[in-house]
């Protein structure tokens, strides 16, 4: 038997009890890991253990792949019409919606984002499942004209067994990024949640049977990256891996894919995104969008606009506005379940130390720390929103992804100058442009080397619009119709209707 964990909460935002099964989810059942390992899940707001959960190894990955392979061949894949898959995915979305408060509570205590933010994020995940549920019966190929004696057409077929490896910063949203299109296109899935934030994935597993999914279609194996993640990356029967996380880990997955079975890999990796504020921008709106773009989720977002370029004519005014924004966030740091909290903790002690190390680096390299840079309180992993000025291009805080609430504000003179500075990075995930000049907004958005460009807004994703990176920020596009391409392979069929040799 596996263990059931019950979490009782009496907070501003949520009052009630949430239960989850702490086992691995393989072939439609919660099971103990073969080798019996566990890991502790930590509340980042307190630094205390929430609950231990099962930790798998390569042996559990083998069992999950076996179950997924059997399900694909016997009860899923091309044997189930797209319309039926779509109905199941839509029902799954409805079940998540019925339990949205429980999902938000689990993510709040596990991730540390304010409860209200988590509830919005879960709602976005529900919308994503519904969107891909609608696509499930629309996976179509083409008839291609050749000659009157031959017909040719294409089919977009699933890979079979695919895997998803998801990060800790937006765990349930990232789960929906992977599972929505994978299931819509007929694949079976082995999913590895982050070992830091597995709780909502385990809650999600409880809903699969009620939604009608056959056993083995979705399998969830908790565990560490160097065990479960490696086993997935090297597994010879997994045909495709979708990963969101660090560029370093993305390189390791690509290497493993090359050394095993040349599985297809899609990657959504790190960023060092520029946000450019021109003199003619609406400064009040630019401050709000930029503040949200860097300090939301305590800076722990891949698209965080950690490099903010401000034209010299409005530099001082913008900087004062952003400083006021940061101080307001700092003053509203606290319990993520409190209705007044805007700023939560970093995800872990390791991440706290990593971010503080970058802050120390910025000071040592000669940047001016305008505000923040210190721990908040003595419990949990809270860091004050931090702003640096007087930054040079070769500083670590300019070159490397910090993944924390640390902004570098840089003055510029001309459009040509700022485009060159903005593109001076190995990353290319996202960028922002703030200006009232429509021609400039389009011109600069086109010139920036990034997979997503926001104009007069920031960090505003849409389910139907593709998302992914240039350069070392990734391979492939998630969201929208483009995501279907990540989970299908094209077969060309040639039919002789009159050719004679």
- At 209-262, the pLDDT tens digits run 999 999 999 999 999 999 999 999 999 999 999 999 999 999 999 999 999 999
Q: Each residue's pLDDT tens digit in the chain (501 positions)? A: 679 999 999 998 999 999 999 999 999 999 999 999 999 999 999 999 999 999 999 999 999 999 999 999 999 999 999 999 999 999 999 999 999 999 999 999 999 999 999 999 999 999 999 999 999 999 999 999 999 999 999 999 999 999 999 999 999 999 999 999 999 999 999 999 999 999 999 999 999 999 999 999 999 999 999 999 999 999 999 999 999 999 999 999 999 999 999 999 999 999 999 999 999 999 999 999 999 999 999 999 999 999 999 999 999 999 999 999 999 999 999 999 999 999 999 999 999 999 999 999 999 999 999 999 999 999 999 999 999 999 999 999 999 999 999 999 999 999 999 999 999 999 999 999 999 999 999 999 999 999 999 999 999 999 999 999 999 999 999 999 999 999 999 999 999 999 899
* CATH number, span 4-32+54-269+475-490: 3.40.605.10
Q: How far apart are CA 389 and CA 385, in angstroms?
A: 14
Q: Which of 268, 401, 449, 478 is catalytic?
A: 268
- Give pLDDT tens digits for 439-473: 999 999 999 999 999 999 999 999 999 999 999 99
Q: Where are the beta strands (DSSP E) in 273-419?
A: 274-277, 307-311, 368-371, 386-389, 406-412
Helix (H) / strand (E) containing 30: strand 29-31
Tell me the β-bridge partners of 48: 43
pLDDT at 219: 98
Report, in this order, helix, strand and coil percent for the chain, each rounded to 5. Answer: 40, 25, 35
Pairing label, strands 24-26, 161-165? unpaired
Pairing label, strands 452-455, 430-434? parallel
- Give pLDDT tens digits for 108-141: 999 999 999 999 999 999 999 999 999 999 999 9
Helix (H) / strand (E) containing 40: strand 37-43
Cβ distance 121 to 105 under 8 Å? no
Task: Give CA separation, 480 vs 181, 313, 404, in Å.
Answer: 9, 39, 28
Maximal C-alpha separation, the chain: 83
* Active site (annotated) includes residue 268: yes
Phi, psi of 249 (to 5 degrees): -70, -35
Task: Give CA separation, 194 vs 58, 202, 222, in Å.
Answer: 16, 12, 7
pLDDT at 1: 60
Domain 4-32+54-269+475-490 matches domain 274-462 at the CATH topology level: no
Q: How far apart are CA 222 and CA 228, in angstroms?
A: 7
- Radius of gyration, alpha carbons of the chain: 24
pTM score, two decimals?
Answer: 0.96
For the chain, the domains span: 4-32+54-269+475-490, 274-462
Cβ distance 57 to 231 under 8 Å? yes
Task: Give CA separation, 273 vs 98, 129, 377, 396, in Å.
Answer: 36, 28, 30, 14
* CATH number, span 274-462: 3.40.309.10
Long-range contacts (CB closer than 8 Å, 24 or more residues apart) made by 114-122: 114/336, 114/338, 114/341, 114/342, 114/344, 115/11, 115/12, 115/13, 115/14, 115/336, 115/337, 115/339, 116/13, 116/339, 117/296, 117/297, 118/336, 121/170, 121/172, 121/173, 122/96, 122/172, 122/173
**Where do we find the tokens 């082995």?**
190
Cβ distance 352 to 346 under 8 Å? yes
Tokens of residue 222, six digits: 């908790």
């Amino acid at each position: 038997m596996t263990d059931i964990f019950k979490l009782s909460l009496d907070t501003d935002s949520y009052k009630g009890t949430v239960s989850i099964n702490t086992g691995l989810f393989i072939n439609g059942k919660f099971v103990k890991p073969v080798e019996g390992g566990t890991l502790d899940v930590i509340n980042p707001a307190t630094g205390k253990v929430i609950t231990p959960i099962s930790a798998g190894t390569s042996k559990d990955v083998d069992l999950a792949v076996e179950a997924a392979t059997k399900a694909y061949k016997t009860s899923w894949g091309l044997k189930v019409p797209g319309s039926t898959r779509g109905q199941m995915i839509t029902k799954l979305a409805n079940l998540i919606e019925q339990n949205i408060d429980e999902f938000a509570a689990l993510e709040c205590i596990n991730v540390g984002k304010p409860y209200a933010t988590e509830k919005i994020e879960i709602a976005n995940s529900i919308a994503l499942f519904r969107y891909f549920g609608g696509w499930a019966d629309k996976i179509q190929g083409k008839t291609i004209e050749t000659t009157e004696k031959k017909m040719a057409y294409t089919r977009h077929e699933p890979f079979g067994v695919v895997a998803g490896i998801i990060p800790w910063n937006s765990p349930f949203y990232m789960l929906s990024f992977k599972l929505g299109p994978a299931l819509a296109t007929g694949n079976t899935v082995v999913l590895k949640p982050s070992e830091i934030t597995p709780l909502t994935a385990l809650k999600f597993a409880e809903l699969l049977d009620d939604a009608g999914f056959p056993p083995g279609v979705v399998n969830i194996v908790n565990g560490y990256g160097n065990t479960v993640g490696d086993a997935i990356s090297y597994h010879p029967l997994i045909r495709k891996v979708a990963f969101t996380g660090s560029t370093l880990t993305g390189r390791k997955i690509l290497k493993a894919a090359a050394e095993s079975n040349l599985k297809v890999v899609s990657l959504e990796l790190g960023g060092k995104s520029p946000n450019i504020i021109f003199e003619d921008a609406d400064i009040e709106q630019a401050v709000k969008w930029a503040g949200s773009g860097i300090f939301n989720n305590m800076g722990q977002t891949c698209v965080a606009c950690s490099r903010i370029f401000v034209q010299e004519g409005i530099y001082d005014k913008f900087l004062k506005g952003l400083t006021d924004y940061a101080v307001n966030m700092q003053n509203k740091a606290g319990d993520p379940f409190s209705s007044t909290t805007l700023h939560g903790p970093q995800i872990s002690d390791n991440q706290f130390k990593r971010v503080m190390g970058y802050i120390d680096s910025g000071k040592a390299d000669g940047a001016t720390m305008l505000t923040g840079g210190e721990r908040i309180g003595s419990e949990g992993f809270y860091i004050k929103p931090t702003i640096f000025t007087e930054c040079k291009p070769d500083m670590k805080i300019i070159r490397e992804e910090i993944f924390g609430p640390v902004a570098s504000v840089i003055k510029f003179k001309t459009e040509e100058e700022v485009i060159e500075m903005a593109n001076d990075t190995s990353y290319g995930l996202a960028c922002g442009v703030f200006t009232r000049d429509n021609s400039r907004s389009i011109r600069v958005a086109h010139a920036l080397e990034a997979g997503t460009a926001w104009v007069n807004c920031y960090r505003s994703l849409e389910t139907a619009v593709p998302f992914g990176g240039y350069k070392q920020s990734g391979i492939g596009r998630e969201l929208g119709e483009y995501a279907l391409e990540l989970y299908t392979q094209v077969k060309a069929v040639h039919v002789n209707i009159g050719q004679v040799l």
